[in-house]
């Protein structure tokens, strides 16, 4: 059993009230609860953290290197701007999956570039909250496969 980290970036604390036509009506607490249950079913524990501050998210990635086997992150707008988060994941070498509720490629051009995608295990976008389910399954599989290789 490993601990995983679920990270949410800016404005995602407003889920449920923020542009429900794009992001749905589930609150962040609702998403975190569903993820906790899913992680448990997969045999892992899950720590959840949200911040509107870039530095706090960088600190959370740094801290995770001590006690987490992997990260699922919806970095919100920092996806498209944050070299610091890119560097935090590179520096810690934590495996992570990038998630977006909306299909960012069907939206404004400034959402088409991600500073995280190229160093993520993979990217899931456009499936709403179900994307977190897929991400948890993928991350759990990756961790199990790596444990096998390490013997």
Active centre residues (catalytic): 23, 100
Do 139 and 4 form a contact (C-beta atoms < 8 A)? yes
Choice between 45 and 130, CB closer to ligand DQA: 130
* Residue number with CB closer to ligand DQA (69 or 88): 88
First to last CA, the chain: 16
**CA–CA gap between residue 50 and residue 56 (Å, rounded):** 9
Q: Is 82 in the site for ligand DQA (CB under 6 A)?
A: no
Which of the stretches 29-37, 65-73, 100-108, 134-142 binds ligand DQA when contact is defined by CB under 6 A?
A: 100-108
100 binds ligand DQA (CB under 6 A): yes
Cβ atoms of 98 and 79 closer than 8 Å: yes
One of 26, 34, 63, 77 touching ligand DQA (CB under 6 A): 77
Closest CA to 37 of 27, 50, 26, 48: 48
Where along the sequence are the contacts to ligand DQA (CB under 6 A)? Answer: 11, 74, 76-77, 79, 100-102, 104, 111
């Amino acid at each position: 059993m490993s601990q995983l980290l679920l990270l949410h970036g800016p404005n995602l604390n407003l889920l449920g009230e923020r542009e429900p036509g794009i992001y749905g009506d589930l609150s962040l607490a609702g998403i975190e609860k569903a993820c906790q249950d899913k992680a448990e079913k997969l045999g892992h524990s899950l720590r959840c953290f949200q911040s509107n501050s870039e530095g706090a998210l960088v600190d959370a990635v740094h801290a995770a290197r001590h006690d987490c086997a992997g990260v699922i992150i919806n970095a919100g707008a920092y996806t498209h701007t944050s070299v610091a988060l890119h560097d935090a994941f590179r520096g810690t070498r934590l495996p992570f999956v990038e998630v977006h509720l909306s299909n960012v490629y069907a939206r404004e051009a400034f959402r088409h570039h991600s500073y995280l995608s190229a160093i993520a295990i993979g990217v899931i976008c456009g499936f709403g909250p179900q994307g977190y389910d897929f991400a948890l399954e993928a991350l759990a599989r990756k961790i199990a496969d790596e444990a096998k290789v390490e013997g």
